[in-house]
Structure 1
Amino acid sequence: MTLADIAANPLFAGKNTSKSETVHQILKRRILLGYLTDDSPITEQALAQEFCCSQGTVREALLRLQECGLVDRRGYQGTFVTRTTQDEAVILTRMRVHLECTGVERAVAAADDAKIADLRELIDLYEESREKRDVFACSEIDRRLHCFIFDLADMPMLEPFLNRAHLQLHRYMVSGHQGNIVWNRNEGSRHIDILDAFERRDAASAKRRMKRHIAQSVHNLAPEIYAIVFEKDPEGEPQMTPKQLWNPALSVSNAL
């Protein structure tokens, strides 16, 4: 993928798009799809040569990746892609379910017709990218969509946690497939079902559908995580309550 390729993507194109942002998006795509791993260092000089830009431009892009936890900069040793372990993915999944299912109930009460129209537009954009089998675009839009819903819940202190959980879980679940995603359509997991609950102002239904949506996504992409977190509950309720989850006497290993 070249700079021109990604700059032409409607998700990222714009008159004010900087070269460092374009490099940032290319590297994020490679990490998410599993083409860049923690096996070898990333050097500013090599990337500057590849993208025909200054090392300062590359450094700015890498700093942004470091801020969201995708890389670890180790001075003269170079920059390395970080790892998310299975234990971490289990905890992040439980945290995501708890945050989103709490948030979606509040979001339904706060969403007016204009916000619901914005939500529908994001869902349509996701479906367009899905038809093109663009894994990276689907990931980016999916995170924007879920964070948009959570923003309606008006819990700004928790938004950074959810955003980080989404990004790391997407990386954990998608990178292992290296872009070879099986595009199953499970009617119970569609975003449109959540939108339907919003349109009916049905908070309880929105919560159930959000659980089912998250569970189905995890089942499709990371069945080993699904088996730990969701398998005994068809509606996707985590197997441990938040109080149990953070009890030091209980570990993820015990849940295995």
Structure 2
Amino acid sequence: MTLAEIATNPLYAAKNTSKSETVHQILKRRILLGYLTDDSPITEQALAQEFCCSQGTVREALLRLQECGLVDRRGYQGTFVTRTTRDEAIILTRMRVHLECTGVERAVAAIDDCKIAVLKELMDLYEESREQRDVFACSEIDRRLHCFIFDLADMPMLEPFLHRAHLQLHRYLISGHQGNIVWNRNEGSRHIDILDAFERRDAASAKRRMKRHIAQSVHNLAPDIYAVVFENAPQDEPQMAPEQLWNPALSVPNTI
């Protein structure tokens, strides 16, 4: 993807987008899609040459990636893509379910027509990116949508934890596929059920649908993680067998 293509993406295009932000988005895309791994050497000099910019611009982009945990800068040793393990992915999934299911209940109480309009706009943008088979843009928009919902819950101390969990879990789930997602299995919208619960101001339904929504994504991309987190859930949490997950009466079909 060229700098021009990144800059015109509606997700983060802006008149005053800096070159370091553009480089940051390109590198982030490569990491999330699995094109840059912990085995891939990253040098400021090589990136500056590739993107026709200064090493300072590259350094700024790498520092932003470090802030969200995607790279580790080790002084003279260089910069390395971090690695998320299966055990960490299991913990991140559980963390995300707990935070988002708690947050969505609180968010329903704070929703209004203007905020519902924002959710619909994000959903439309997600569908546009999905039609273009842009896995990275779908991931970015999905995270923005979920963080917007959590922001309505008014728990600011927990927002950074959700953002990190969401990003790193997406990276774990998506990077192993290197962009080769089975799109033909994924018809329909992933978010419409949650939006419906918001429109009806039904907090209990929103919580159930949020959990099912997260489970669908994990089941599609990492069935082994799904089995541990959802099929073997604690006794006080409803378990979700695959036949329940894919029952059209209970959920909409999945996408990445």
- In structure 1, how many angstroms separate the alpha carbons of the residues matched to 2:128 and 2:99? 27
1:40 positional shift = 2.6
- In structure 2, how many angstroms separate the alpha carbons of the residues matched to 1:112 and 1:89? 34
Matched AA of 1:177: H
Aligned residue for 2:231, secondary structure, equals coil
Aligned length: 236
Name 1:185's counterpart in structure 2.
186
Please list the CA deviations of residues 227-255 of structure 1 after superposition, one character each: whole Å capped at 9, or x if unmatched.
1101246xxx488xxxxxxxxxxxxxxxx
Name 1:230's counterpart in structure 2.
230
Name 1:128's counterpart in structure 2.
128
1:185 positional shift = 2.6
- In structure 2, how many angstroms separate the alpha carbons of the residues matched to 1:190 and 1:177? 20
Contact 1:229 1:238 in 2 (8 A): no
Aligned counterparts, 1:86-235, within 5 A: 86-183=86-183, 184-185=185-186, 190-232=190-232
1:9 positional shift = 0.8
- In structure 1, how many angstroms separate the alpha carbons of the residues matched to 2:182 and 2:109? 35
1:68 positional shift = 0.1
Extract unaligned runs of 5+ from structure 2: 240-256
- In structure 2, how many angstroms separate the alpha carbons of the residues matched to 1:92 and 1:200? 30
- In structure 2, how many angstroms separate the alpha carbons of the residues matched to 1:53 and 1:238? 53
Matched AA of 2:20: S
| Structure-2 change in CA distance of 1:126 and 1:205 (3 Å) | same
1:186 positional shift = 6.3
1:41 positional shift = 1.9
Contact 1:32 1:174 in 2 (8 A): yes
Mean Cα displacement is larger for which, 192-201 or 5-14?
5-14
| Structure-2 change in CA distance of 1:10 and 1:146 (3 Å) | same
1:2 positional shift = 1.3
Name the Cα RMSD after superposition. 1.5
Name 2:40's counterpart in structure 1.
40
- In structure 2, how many angstroms separate the alpha carbons of the residues matched to 1:154 and 1:70? 27
Contact 1:110 1:153 in 2 (8 A): yes
Aligned counterparts, 1:236-251, within 5 A: 237=237
Extract unaligned runs of 5+ from structure 1: 240-256
Question: What is the identity percentage for the equivalent residue pairs of Structure 1 and Structure 2?
Answer: 90
Give the TM-score, by structure 1 length: 0.89
Please list the CA deviations of residues 149-197 of structure 1 after superposition, one character each: whole Å capped at 9, or x if unmatched.
000000000000000000000000000000000122366x720100000
